[in-house]
Amino acid sequence: MAKQPQPRIEIISTGTEILQGLYPDTNAQWLSQQLAGLGLSVAGHAAVGDSQEDLERLLEGMIRRCDVVIISGGLGPTVDDVNRYAIARAYGCELVEDEQAVQHIRDRFARRGLPFVENNRVQALVPRGAQVLYNDWGTAPGFILENDNGRAVLIALPGPPRELQPMFDRWVRPWLLERYRLDTKLTTLTLHTIDLPESQINAAIADLFRADPDVYVGLLAAGGKVDIRLTARGFDEMTIERKLSGFRRQIEARIGAESIYGCDDASLESVVGDLLRSRNLRIAVAESCTGGLIAARLTNVAGASSFLLEGFVTYSNESKTARLGVDPNLIAQHGAVSRPVARAMAEGVLRVSGADLGLAVTGIAGPTGWTPEKPIGIVFVALAWGNDSTVIERRFLGSRNENRAYSANVALDLVRRHLLHRGGKT
């Protein structure tokens, strides 16, 4: 098959819940990332509710200006699953029942010990002549509809990400690679930074945004962290990797390698967990304003029992005294949100747990409980080890939940930096 020119691709996400703002459109985001990795650009995203008329109207314009349209959702058995009907009308084709899809649905119900309900047969209706994409992760099949009347190829996939993503990998990715014989490749490297404002990073690497036409540099700030996203285009993986490595070295030299806590799929908690595990250290946590968020983050990491000993949510003054041994006179003198109390909490959780590291956080998340001396967003984070300890202060300007999330990030990062500097047993 001859190589095809770069296609115009647009994505449609269907579901009234998306338009109501109840759920984010993660399918379009994920599909765009996968297409970019193949060297294919997405020209546009659209979302439409569960209305056959609205979807038909959207399709009529899109399938005439595009080469490929990918649509997710609306293939289930309920009355609001209208995609198959809208697609059939837009393309002027008949829907037919695919016998293999019906049997697949029957088998899936049987494996779950559930009776087959006849209205599920509607999921096996596909446009005549379409390539059926059988679904091993759910019931509704997808399909690829090609035609010779100048309209876009239509790729229909189920809406649940747990079905859409493996179906794209099994069926759609190979089809696109075969269809367009792609020579160029796109590879993305995301550097995760913390404790540096976006404006400072932008100033430090401003010239890199235009340094190489084959490397796109972007910044994304969220949750007190900034991601530096590098996307490189090339004809071979070696060239791409060389470009990405060169950009990474320049960025590390300008903002400091320690400010980059990980890349791509690495999370702050997974990096901290790996450091603790590699050094054979265990940590215990005492939390006040974060209410268990730090411990929850650490237990997101598989095998966390090897490095997380225990956690305390010592929200009240009484619990700080009873569980951690914090002197009530210290609280009375300095207040629960203070540098001395944070240190006492960290030293207390270290002592009562027998861990190698004791981490503690106390602060005012808001919107109440503040004073002119201690405003909303003030947080003290302490780390204790051996006979030593340290305390840092931060002030955040977010909402209650944002301030709690920021505090958890700062606490985890304090542990990370401590381990980078001190290495093994403390």
State pLDDT tens for residues 134-148.
Answer: 999 999 999 999 987
Output the six-digit token pair for 196. Answer: 């540096």
- Which of 241, 263, 285 is the endpoint of a domain? 263
Residues 235 and 151 in one domain: no
Residues 70 and 161 in one domain: yes
All residues at 6 or more sequence positions from 140 whose CB lies less than 8 Å from its CB, including other chains: 75, 76, 77, 123, 158, 163
Owning domain of residue 190 = 185-263
Contact 417, 385 (CB under 8 A): no
Taking CB atoms within 8 Å and a gap of at least 24, the contacts of 208-215 are: 208/247, 208/250, 208/251, 211/247, 212/243, 212/247, 214/243, 215/243, 215/244, 215/247
Residues 16 and 69 in one domain: yes
* Model confidence, pTM: 0.72
Residues 312 and 372 in one domain: yes
Number of structural domains found in the chain: 3
* Domain annotation covers residue 3: no
Query: Which CATH number is 46's domain given?
Result: 3.40.980.10
Residues 99 and 121 in one domain: yes
Query: How confident is the chain (426 residues) per 10-residue block, as mean pLDDT?
Result: 73 95 94 87 95 96 96 94 95 95 92 88 95 94 90 96 93 89 79 94 95 90 87 87 96 96 96 97 98 97 97 97 97 97 98 98 93 92 97 94 95 97 65
Residues 272 and 198 in one domain: no
Question: Is the previous residue joined to 367 through a cis bond, with omega within 30 degrees of 0?
Answer: yes
Query: Which CATH number is 326's domain given?
Result: 3.90.950.20
Burial (CB < 10 A; 0-12, 13-18, 19+), residue 370, is middle
Contact 157, 28 (CB under 8 A): no
Query: Which CATH number is 202's domain given?
Result: 3.30.70.2860
* Domain annotation covers residue 372: yes
All residues at 6 or more sequence positions from 426 whose CB lies less than 8 Å from its CB, including other chains: 281, 356, 357, 385, 386, 388
Residues 388 and 302 in one domain: yes
Residues 13 and 124 in one domain: yes
- Which of 180, 208, 224 is the endpoint of a domain? 180
Residues 257 and 346 in one domain: no
Output the six-digit token pair for 399. Answer: 């909402």
Residues 241 and 272 in one domain: no
pLDDT at 90: 95
* Domain annotation covers residue 2: no
Residues 102 and 225 in one domain: no
- Which of 180, 204, 220 is the endpoint of a domain? 180
* Domain annotation covers residue 4: no
* Domain annotation covers residue 1: no
Residues 390 and 320 in one domain: yes
State pLDDT tens for residues 327-375.
Answer: 999 999 999 999 999 999 999 999 999 999 999 999 999 998 888 889 9
State pLDDT tens for residues 261-291.
Answer: 999 999 999 999 999 999 999 999 999 999 9
